[in-house]
Structure 1
Amino acid sequence: MATVLVTGASRGLGLEFCKQYAAEGWEVLACCRQPEKADKLAGIANVRLLSLDVADFARIDSLAKEIRETPIDVLINNAGIYGDISGHGFGQLDYAAWAKTLLINTQAPVKMAEAFLPHLQRGKLKRLVTVSSQMASIADNGSGGSILYRTSKAALNAGMKSLSIDLKDLGIGVLILHPGWVKTDMGGPNALIDAELSVSGMRRVIADSTLRDSGSFLKYDGSILPW
């Protein structure tokens, strides 16, 4: 049985990843801050709920030790925050919120890769996947704004691109994925696609990927995005 670990698993894209992988018989390690409140995941076959706040790096390390014997085929860094507070744009930036956004969106996925590297090495598929955003693209930025979110995701992309080179000799493929504008709590009700379509597309990209794709910035439909 293949195993996938998903952060931010209790809602939105993370929840949908868990549902779809579980439905195909994968063992799902569903990580969220309050597993006791993850009602939508409770009772789903093949899903194991694990307590994890990705902002707590000591907890990341302890969880890695707790499941140290578990091979992981696909690790999905999905947990993230928007960060930009209404009314706090340029001229009134909340620098504490910016630091928190960078911690969760940029540093935590790299920390997850460090902590769970041995698990990925023991897996068969060896895929490190990170949910990024088209808003990370510098070339595509024609509207400005959202400084906290944009910078955190652009830095995330740079970090994952470096990891794709650093981990190549270990046979670990690194994918950076844009899920599309999705109807979630973050994406809002006016978004263009639903979570089911987004996740099914991203899962297809993951399944079809080879090491030649490692370090690529891809949309959920497999198309290449500009940096």
Structure 2
Amino acid sequence: MLKCYEVNAIGPLMVAQTFLPLLRQAAGQQSSEPMSCGKAAIINISTGVASITENSSGRMYPYRASKAALNMITSNLSLDLKSDGILCTAIHPGWVKTEMGGPNALISTEECLKGIMFVLEKLQGDEESGKFYHGVKGHVIPW
């Protein structure tokens, strides 16, 4: 469980903190522009199974809990960095045919990437920050 927290929650927070000076610099250069991925953003890769609201199957305690922690970190960052103009959001890539997802997964890596890029392009403004998006379908997932 500790390893999952290190990889899925602590690691992304440390990366965000490390790049924060550069993100602030980028956002400051476009201070009159609305929040967007083209300006400055922290995008955390989460998972639908981290949604407490949509949990209907249980199991996978370390993975689910560590990704739920990542979602809370994302929400906190969105509040803390709002005044800097840095967009922060979490995104669920879908069930992807990778080593982790396995051969029975629903989408290819190409479909996953296209979906995520489509969602990220649409994120404009303060109201889009601090949310949890489905990377393929584009809707907001309840925390």
TM-score, normalised to structure 1's length? 0.56
String of CA shifts for 1:20-50, please: whole Å, max 9, x gaps. Answer: xxxxxxxxxxxxxxxxxxxxxxxxxxxxxxx
**Map of 2:71 onto structure 1:** 157
**Map of 1:116 onto structure 2:** 19
**Map of 1:177 onto structure 2:** 91
Partner Cα distance (1:194, 1:102) in 2: 27
Q: Is residue 2:111 matched to residue 1:197?
A: yes
More strand by share: 1
C-alpha displacement of 1:122? 2.5
Cα RMSD of the aligned pairs, angstroms, is 1.0
String of CA shifts for 1:39-67, please: whole Å, max 9, x gaps. Answer: xxxxxxxxxxxxxxxxxxxxxxxxxxxxx
- Choose from 47, 51, 57 the match for 1:137: 51
- Where structure 2 has 5 or more consecutive residues not aligned to the other structure, the ranges are 28-38
**Map of 2:138 onto structure 1:** 222
Partner Cα distance (1:209, 1:172) in 2: 12
Largest Rg, 1 or 2: 1
String of CA shifts for 1:101-160, please: whole Å, max 9, x gaps. Answer: 101100111111111001112235101101000010011111110001000000110111
More helix by share: 2
Partner Cα distance (1:121, 1:194) in 2: 34
- Where structure 1 has 5 or more consecutive residues not aligned to the other structure, the ranges are 1-97
Partner Cα distance (1:179, 1:142) in 2: 19
TM-score, normalised to structure 2's length? 0.87
Partner Cα distance (1:118, 1:208) in 2: 25
Q: Which runs of 4+ in 1 moved over 6 A?
A: none
C-alpha displacement of 1:192? 0.4
> Between Structure 1 and Structure 2, how many residues are aligned?
130
**Map of 2:4 onto structure 1:** 101
